[in-house]
Chain A
Amino acid sequence: MRRRAIAPLFRLARNGQPSGAARRYSTHPPNAKLNLPVQYNKSAYLSHTAQTTLANPELPAEIRDAGNTTRQNLYQSVNSALQTALSTDDRAILFGEDVAFGGVFRCSTNLLDKFGPNRVFNTPLNELGIIGFGIGYASHDSANTAIAEIQFGDYVFPAFDQIVNEAAKYRYRGASEFNCGGLTIRMPVMGVGHGALYHSQSPEGFFSHVPGLKVVVPRGPVQAKGLLLQSIRDRNPVIFMEPKILYRAAVEEVPVDEYTLPLGKAEVLATGSDITIISYGTPLYTVEMAAKAAKETMGVSVEVIDLRTVYPWDKETVFASVNKTGRCMIVHEAPKGGGIGGEIAASVQEGCFLRLEAPVGRVTGWDVHMGLVFEQFNVPDVVRVLDMIRKTMEY
């Protein structure tokens, strides 16, 4: 159905080094003050020292006490989670297109050598086959764990029927006599600067309309490792979406040992009193820059929430925040129409009506496809987020 030109997708950072370096393919206007490249190595949403990592109260006590961390980018932390999953569960298998040699994004590096070809293997180039096979493996025995990779979120649609009609409904239709809860589907998602129509999509909205599925999006390596391991161990089919631009760009001190982070819980990344911004994945870093600019230029105090689990999502945390700030915005890369933002906005006006001081704002991708040279105009940027903060505050 396609051929993928993957090589250019790796030119994400200077010399391909995992660092917060500038994105070379996208120059910013010489006089720009807001739409600047993301400095991942300075982001407060990523943990740059062992100390800040180990201060995370969600980590188990033994991890915090042991104090062992290592610098990893997101693909390395995914690799680490997969390695843990495979070594702690001998019924876990990992499969998909090109996973055997390490995967086109290196997420399964060395796993074939460690666990052998029966547990880590390539499949034919057929997405519905990959997911159908995974459902069969997982449904055969509820203790079985199937970790399927779809090479890009853009190519998950041939498997849509298998995911929506089979994976999501297996437990319900088999009334728990049968289920395929051991299935986890990983896929790289979101913009990468030059992915155009079929290497940039954010398909989470499609799956967040399907009872029986869980949809998870991590923002960085520490989150990815803990959330992925929990997704694999969770006994419901989970769709785990990895923002591909962060594979190399986002680097953190990641706990060496195994740990999990909870599904279905949002995380407050910055506390504030004037407005709540809800986002997940790549755009969080844009939100961070916009929040900083809002503080500097308008004195606005922004509360930022990383949704983490996009479906079923954590209403309690969001409502508590909006009931406190009285204003709310949602930022995501996917198109506006029918996106997650609409669901959150509707829920917020149900849950926080008497406290809302302004309409719920949405800064999203436009209702267009990701045209190659137009990405910078489609993906939510600092200006658009800041402008929506201004509008919401001035309402």
Chain B
Amino acid sequence: MSFSGPLRRSLLPRSYRSIAARYPCPKRRCLSSAVNAAAEVPREPEGTKEVPMTVGDGGAGTSRPVKQRAGSDRLVFPGAVNSKFTNRLHFRKSDPEKAIDTYRVMDTEGKIFDETHGLDFDSMKEQTLKMYSSMVTVSIMDQIMFDSQRQGRISFYIVNAGEEGIAVGSAAALGEQDVIYAQYREAGVLMYRGYGLDEFMNQCFANRKDHGKGRNMPIHYTSKRLNFHPISSTLATQLPHASGAGYALKLEGKEACAVTYFGEGAASEGDFHAALNIAATRGCPTLFICRNNGYAISTPTLDQYKGDGIASRGVGYGIDTIRVDGNDAWAVYKVTKEAREIAISQQKPVLIEAMSYRVSHHSTSDDSFAYRARVEVEDWKRRDNPITRLRKFMELRNWWDQDQDSQLRTQLRKDILKAFNAAEREKKPAISKLWEDIYDTPSKDQREQMADLKDVMHRYPDEYDVGMYEAGENGVVSRR
């Protein structure tokens, strides 16, 4: 794959289509006459000629002069190219009465609102079943894995309860070539894309078959096959990655976008600001999907931000933005599909804020009843749940009934436990994996350190538990 061919013109903003042959360097930007002292830098003649201010795109050389005409009724300035003058002094306020609205396709009983929302449901039975099954699989897997952590069989787990609709609804709207950069509560994305139960389990048990070679905490999934980048614990760091990956897709002229998921807490990180801003200025086909579930561990959104959620920020970056009901898998699906269309056809980012409620504890290391009332959680669970909503939608169409549901759940439970037991029995990766993949080839120091460990282990054989690792002590290479 190479960029040598011309970029797909249709995908490029107009400013890119005619790269000015000259790139004016207005004197106001030349930092010092000394800059131009070197022989190969032509010096601009000294003069008093007024250089017009310019509005550019990343210094692309396509800047167009901006001229403030005398007597104009508006400010024409590079920093704000079309701002009307006013003599009324008035500060803009965030108005809680005017919150950005929340898009819905079906109500809590699974009934589609009058408009069809451009979705031809009759032809989507297969896909609906796949979505439903993915969501149920995640929820059953979550229960089993949560309990197994409580029994000490895995070290850690994070469940997705209440947010399966966001992950699966959006995944269903994406293409296989779309690249995912997730936070950690998006198992449904992998489930829908076809990550195997064995792959989930191998990762959580960190066994020799784990794609991540047993290096990461549970639920830090990765899959090259599914274009799903390795999850890291650091919050929001993946956001600018998705901007950069979107830019790569743009240069490749691919009919694909980058997608990143993050919580409303992570959106307080500087990375959120950095990522959205650079995605906007570079015109990156990137979808920013925020799961606003009301809590960042124990911190309620009241302590997280004062504005109108995350969506209100998008517009400030010049990004098309929408808020959606995260418990409505169809609304999430529809919004993601449209957003993807915008991102790819117009080569620009889109921000989606999906509203939901974190029904579960934050993780296995958290008891959420220390900071919120049990009744609040129970109330949410009873009132609205993305899985129940989609099931009701299917039942209304006679696609689904109680028997089918019991059968599906029984079968899934069996399959998951089978994968669970197989993964638990597998050996851990060879100890040499501790050193591999830090560089493309291990450094000399690393090789020496590995030999040092092997030597120590050999002399104190009773002090190290190597039986569970592939090749045991021989899994450490002694090559100096």
**Residues A312 and B275 in contact, CB atoms below 8 Å apart:** no
Q: Among residues 203 to 234 in chain A, which have CB atoms less than 8 Å away from a CB atom of chain B?
A: 211-212, 214
Q: Contact: B216 with A173, CB < 8 Å?
A: yes
Q: Is the CB of A133 within 8 A of B277?
A: no
Residue of A nearest to B32 (CB): A7
Indicate which residue in B31, B38, B212, B244 contacts A73 across the interface (CB closer than 8 Å).
Answer: B38
Structural contact, A132 and B243, CB atoms closer than 8 A: yes
Query: Is the Cβ of B3 less than 8 Å from the Cβ of A173?
Result: no
Give the top 4 A-B pairs by smallest Cβ distance, nearest first. Answer: A100-B59, A136-B244, A132-B240, A129-B274
- Find the A residue at minimum CB distance from B212: A175
What is the CA–CA distance of A73 and B39 in the complex, to the nearest angstrom?
11
Check if B19 sits within 8 Å of A104, measured CB to CB: no
Whether A136 lies near B245 (C-beta < 8 A) is yes
Which of B128-136, B157-165, B246-254 faces chain A? B246-254
Minimum CB–CB distance from A167 to chain B (whole Å) comes to 10
A190 at the interface (CB under 8 A from B): no
Residues of A within 8 A of B360 (CB): none
Mask, A111-146, CB within 8 Å of B = 1, is 011001111011110101111111111111101101
Tell me if B229 is interfacial: C-beta within 8 Å of chain A: yes
- The docked-state distance in angstroms from the alpha carbon of A130 to that of B241 is 10
Q: Which of B60, B234, B245, B275 contacts A137 (CB 8 A)?
A: B245
Interface size on B, residues (CB 8 A): 74
Across the interface, name the chain B residue whose C-beta is closest to A134: B244
Complex CA gap A146/B35 in Å reads 26
A153 to chain B, nearest CB (A): 18
A200–B271 CA distance with the chains assembled, in angstroms: 26
| B99-107, B365-373, B419-427, B437-445 - the one binding chain A | B437-445
Is A106 positioned at the interface, with any CB of B under 8 Å from its CB?
Answer: yes
Question: Given A91-B2, A132-B239 in contact, is the A11-B59 Cβ separation under 8 Å?
Answer: no
- Whether A136 contacts B240 by the Cβ 8 Å rule is yes
Given contacts A124-B277, A128-B270, contact A7 B237 (CB under 8 A): no
Q: CA separation between A283 and B35, bound complex, in Å? A: 24
- Given B31, B179, B273, B274, which contacts A140 in the complex, CB threshold below 8 Å? B179
Query: In whole angstroms, what is the CA distance A183 to B329 when docked?
Result: 38
Complex contact A15–B37 (CB within 8 A): yes
Bound-complex Cα distance A214 to B445 (A) = 13
B282 contacts A by Cβ under 8 Å: yes
Contact: B60 with A16, CB < 8 Å? Answer: no
Whether A136 contacts B258 by the Cβ 8 Å rule is yes
B232 at the interface (CB under 8 A from A): yes
Tell me which residues from 137 to 174 in chain A have a Cβ below 8 Å from any Cβ of chain B.
137-141, 143-144, 146, 158, 161-162, 165-166, 169-174
Scan residues 203-218 of chain B and give those whose CB is less than 8 A from a CB of chain A.
211-213, 215-216
Q: A132-B243, A166-B241 are in contact. Are A175 and B61 (CB under 8 A)?
A: no
Contact indicator A136/B212 (Cβ below 8 Å): no
A330 contacts chain B at the CB level, 8 A cutoff: no
Expressed in whole angstroms, the Cα–Cα distance for A99 and B41 within the complex equals 15
21 contacts between A and B (CB under 8 A): A6-B32, A7-B34, A100-B58, A102-B25, A116-B19, A117-B58, A121-B60, A128-B270, A129-B240, A130-B278, A132-B244, A136-B181, A136-B244, A136-B245, A140-B248, A162-B271, A171-B439, A173-B215, A177-B211, A177-B223, A248-B38
Q: Is the CB of B23 within 8 A of A113?
A: yes
Chain A 325-340 near chain B by CB (<8 Å), digits 1 or 0: 0000000000000000
Is B278's CB under 8 angstroms from A129's CB? yes
Distance (Å) between the CB of B183 and the closest chain A CB?
Answer: 14
CA distance A29 to B13 in the complex (A): 60
Q: Which residues of A contact B258 (CB under 8 A)?
A: 136, 140
B57 at the interface (CB under 8 A from A): yes
Report which A residues bind B (CB closer than 8 A).
Answer: 6-7, 10-11, 15-18, 73, 75-76, 90-91, 93, 98-102, 104, 106, 109-110, 112-113, 116-119, 121-124, 126, 128-141, 143-144, 146, 158, 161-162, 165-166, 169-179, 181, 211-212, 214, 235-236, 248, 264, 312, 315-316
Are A312 and B32 within 8 A (Cβ)? Answer: no
Closest to A91 in B: B3
Residues of A within 8 Å of B215, CB to CB, are 172-173, 175
A171's nearest neighbour on chain B, judged by CB, is B437
Residues of B within 8 Å of A136, CB to CB, are 181, 240-248, 258
Q: Is the CB of B59 within 8 A of A112?
A: yes
With contacts A76-B38, A212-B438 taken as known, whether A162 is within 8 angstroms of B179 at the C-beta atoms is no
Are B59 and A101 interface neighbours, CB within 8 A? yes
* Complex CA–CA separation, A296 to B159 (angstroms): 73
Cβ 8 A contact of A175, one of B40, B222, B246, B277: B222
State A31–B21 Cα separation when bound (angstroms).
Answer: 56
In the complex, besides A136-B258, A146-B244, A166-B237, 12 extra interface pairs with C-beta distance below 8 angstroms are: A10-B37, A90-B3, A90-B4, A117-B62, A123-B282, A126-B273, A130-B278, A132-B274, A133-B282, A136-B241, A139-B245, A171-B438
Name the residue on B nearest A123 (C-beta): B278
**Contact across chains for A173 and B230 when beta carbons are under 8 A apart:** yes
Given contacts A118-B7, A124-B278, contact A175 B38 (CB under 8 A): no
Set A6, A144, A174: member contacting B229, Cβ < 8 A: A174
CB distance from A117 to the nearest CB of B (A): 3
Cβ contacts B411-449/A at 8 Å (1 or 0 each): 000000000000000000000000011111001111000
- List A contacts of B277 (CB < 8 A): 124, 126, 129
Which chain A residues border B40 with CB–CB below 8 Å?
A: 76, 109-110
CB closest residue in chain A, given B243: A133
Given contacts A136-B244, A137-B248, A181-B440, contact A112 B229 (CB under 8 A): no
Contacts of A144 in B (CB 8 A): 248
B271 and A128 within 8 A (CB): yes
* Chain A residues whose CB sits within 8 angstroms of the CB of B31 once the complex forms: 6-7, 10, 104
B37 close to A17 (CB less than 8 A): yes
- In contact, A170 and B248 (Cβ under 8 angstroms): no
Question: Is B185 positioned at the interface, with any CB of A under 8 Å from its CB?
Answer: no
Cβ-defined partner of B230 (8 Å) among A110, A126, A177, A236: A177
Q: A137-B244, A165-B237, A236-B440 are in contact. Are A106 and B19 (CB under 8 A)?
A: no
From A119, A132, A141, A174, contact of B1 by CB (8 A): A141
B348 touches A (CB below 8 Å): no
The verdict on B29 contacting chain A, using a C-beta distance below 8 Å, is: yes
Taken together as a complex, chains A and B put the C-alpha atoms of A212 and B443 apart, in Å, by: 10
The 8 Å CB contact of A235, one of B60, B244, B249, B440, is B440
Shortest beta-carbon distance from B439 to chain A in Å: 5
Is B291's CB within 8 Å of the partner chain A?
Answer: no
Instruction: Tell me if B49 is interfacial: C-beta within 8 Å of chain A.
Output: no
A217 to B234, CA, bound (A): 29
Supposing A100-B61, A175-B222 touch, asked if A139 and B234 sit within 8 A by C-beta, the answer is no
Contacts of B37 in A (CB 8 A): 10, 15-17
B281 touches A (CB below 8 Å)? yes
Given contacts A126-B277, A173-B222, A212-B439, contact A141 B232 (CB under 8 A): no
**Contacts of B274 on A, CB cut-off 8 Å?**
124, 126, 128-129, 132-133
How far is B40's CA from A218's CA once the two chains are assembled, in angstroms?
Answer: 22
> Known contacts A7-B31, A106-B35: does B224 contact A133 (CB below 8 Å)?
no
Given contacts A170-B230, A178-B222, A312-B443, contact A133 B61 (CB under 8 A): no
